[in-house]
Homo-oligomer: A and B are copies of this chain.
């Protein structure tokens, strides 16, 4: 009992947890930054280190902080709230959260359509597809790896264009496509593989959200189909009902 001497009915660990949470909320402890060490926190709150640990444990359970043994405890970025609606644009969604969207082309190649890809795009199995692999960021934090398949015939120059404009929406605009919408969205989850882990700067064994989707133009003609892998700890999908 050092914060106040009279019993308040509010446990010390709770007071410490609330104090730290307030610090995160108001930016005294920015996302990604290291918190003071447990010993330091214990000292500033004049409380035992175990009490601080309990406070941090509740915050970690809620995903607000992440402890790294031997290194420190870090503020987790608040999850990006990602609405799943028919008009889904990564750049708009990220921008709406006050963060800067960024895309980076990490690979492009031509490959023949599997049966499923062909079905999604309304093409024949084996038709040539342009595959674009992109890494997408909110500010400097990688959010997802997206693999997009488009008709190689219709969108022959898509790769260099995407590389320049760094936005799917703008790239499609180059082909005269003013608007498009999501025809289908399927969400599942898995454990990240080594390749994606490296791209997303994610520890092995962490969960990812996998979104399979197909975008169509105003007439319903398929434009592209894609599989995106999101770092689960950085996003939160919001399904809007109604």
Interface residues of A, Cβ cutoff 8 Å to B:
7-11, 13-15, 17, 26, 58, 163
Contact = CB atoms under 8 A, between A and B. Distances in A.
A10 B26 CA distance: 23
Nearest to A9: B14
Nearest to A15: B9
14 contacts: A7-B11, A8-B14, A9-B10, A9-B11, A9-B13, A9-B14, A9-B15, A9-B17, A9-B58, A10-B10, A10-B11, A10-B14, A11-B11, A26-B163
Contacts of A7: 11
Nearest to A54: B9
Contacts of A15: 9
A8 B26 CA distance: 23
What 9 A-B pairs come out closest when comparing CB atoms?
A: A9-B14, A9-B11, A10-B10, A9-B13, A9-B10, A10-B14, A8-B14, A10-B11, A9-B17
